[in-house]
């Protein structure tokens, strides 16, 4: 019995190539749960995992795909039985362990969560790591006291995956959402997700000479990092927090400490990869209740395994709008 998978092979000292191949089950990595995968997705990190210089994949041949959702086929772990629907994000699956761009995956039961009630496997992958991280960011802001009556919340990289889900969730929770985008054509899309203000990327993507600007944002979900994150720190209201999720605009943050010292702002790190089980379940439950499904549907572009490599290149170039769902079968 064989199954289809997108396999990345090393073809030169600094070259890889990806193609759909037939694999047999005995080629799957170790693990105590085998899952018939239905859907996966394309995140920024998946783009990196399909590049020779992405820095995340250590051994080849490799099956990427950092997320998947599907049905348990066999399990030697008492928590899961055949027929259970499950979701996987994180744990370096798709990076150091074969991932979700395949009809089958074998993983450690500790890495799975049951499919949240109210979501299909397709919807779970429309959310994926990007949406899960966006929800963790919202939870972190709430834990630090953010409430809708405190003022506008900024979302950077808003038309991307993290940004789209953060925008829709925050709007549903009653926040006024200011969405930063470099794509003027995405304004209507962002408004349809609930953004109440569109901020042009160039207004905010360079550091200011002044460490403090006017107090503008009650909080921020930041998918961009770099100079934009440094700039946002100086625009936060007193006691406000920014949840740092991503680095689409750069990893180096030329920040000033003054906003921390004079306004008591907070920089909250978001790591979706190693979250404990309870926090995962909480975040997924909140996604099932706080993300309007009609808005999620409006974000989705569907793809198959064969086109995933080109979508990986597009997401790294900031050209993907919303979320991609990959039907692996």
- Closer to ligand NDP at the Cβ: 9 or 188? 188
Asked whether position 160 contacts ligand NDP by CB under 6 A, the answer is: yes
Residues in contact with ligand NDP, shown as a per-residue x/- string from 57 to 96 under the rule CB under 6 A: ----------------------------------------
Asked whether position 43 contacts ligand NDP by CB under 6 A, the answer is: yes
The closest residue (CB) to ligand NDP is 160
Among 126, 320, 325, 326, binds ligand NDP (CB under 6 A): 320
Pair of tokens at residue 63: 């099956």
Among 16, 105, 159, 229, binds ligand NDP (CB under 6 A): 159
b vs e for 67-106, b when ≥16 Cβ sit within 10 Å of the residue's Cβ? Answer: bbbbebbebeeeebeeebbbbbbbbebbbebbbbbbbbbb
Give least dist CB 291 to ligand NDP, A: 15
Among 49, 158, 178, 207, binds ligand NDP (CB under 6 A): 158
How far is residue 63's CA from residue 22's CA, in Å, rounded to a whole number?
12
Give least dist CB 13 to ligand NDP, A: 26
What angle do the packed helices 161-172 and 277-290 form, to 10 degrees? 70
Residues in contact with ligand NDP, shown as a per-residue x/- string from 214 to 243 under the rule CB under 6 A: ---------xx---x---------------
Closest CA to 222 of 249, 191, 202, 190: 249
Asked whether position 249 contacts ligand NDP by CB under 6 A, the answer is: yes
How far is residue 211's CA from residue 1's CA, in Å, rounded to a whole number?
62
Burial tier of 120 (Cβ tally within 10 Å: 0-12, 13-18, 19+): middle
């Amino acid at each position: 019995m064989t199954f289809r998978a997108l396999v990345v092979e090393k073809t030169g000292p600094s070259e890889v190539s990806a193609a759909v191949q037939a694999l047999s089950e005995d080629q799957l990595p170790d693990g105590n749960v085998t899952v018939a995968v239905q859907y996966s997705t394309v995140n920024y990190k998946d783009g990196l995992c399909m590049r020779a210089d992405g820095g995340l994949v250590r051994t080849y041949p490799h099956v990427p795909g950092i997320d998947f959702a599907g049905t348990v086929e066999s399990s030697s772990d008492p928590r899961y039985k055949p027929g259970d629907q499950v979701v996987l994000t994180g744990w370096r699956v798709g990076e150091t362990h074969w991932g979700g761009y395949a009809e089958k995956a074998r993983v450690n039961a500790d890495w799975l969560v049951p499919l949240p009630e109210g979501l299909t496997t397709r919807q779970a992958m429309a959310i994926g790591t990007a949406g899960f991280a966006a929800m963790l960011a919202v939870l972190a802001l709430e834990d630090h006291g953010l409430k809708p009556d405190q003022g506008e919340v900024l979302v950077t990289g808003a038309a991307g995956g993290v940004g789209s889900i953060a925008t829709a969730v925050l709007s549903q929770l009653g926040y006024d959402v200011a969405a930063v985008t470099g794509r003027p054509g995405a304004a209507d899309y962002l408004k349809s997700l609930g953004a109440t203000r569109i901020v042009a990327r160039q207004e905010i993507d360079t550091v200011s000479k002044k460490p403090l600007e006017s107090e503008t944002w009650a909080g921020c979900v930041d998918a961009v990092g770099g100079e934009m994150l440094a700039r946002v720190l100086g625009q936060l209201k007193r006691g406000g927090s920014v949840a740092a999720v991503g680095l689409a605009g750069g990893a180096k943050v030329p920040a000033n400490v003054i906003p921390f010292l004079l306004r008591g702002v907070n920089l909250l790190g978001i790591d979706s990869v190693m979250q404990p089980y309870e926090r995962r379940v909480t975040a997924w439950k909140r996604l099932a209740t706080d993300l309007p499904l009609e808005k999620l549907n409006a974000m989705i572009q569907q793809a198959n395994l064969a086109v995933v490599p080109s979508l990986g290149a597009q997401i790294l170039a900031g050209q993907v709008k919303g979320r991609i769902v990959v039907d692996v079968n």
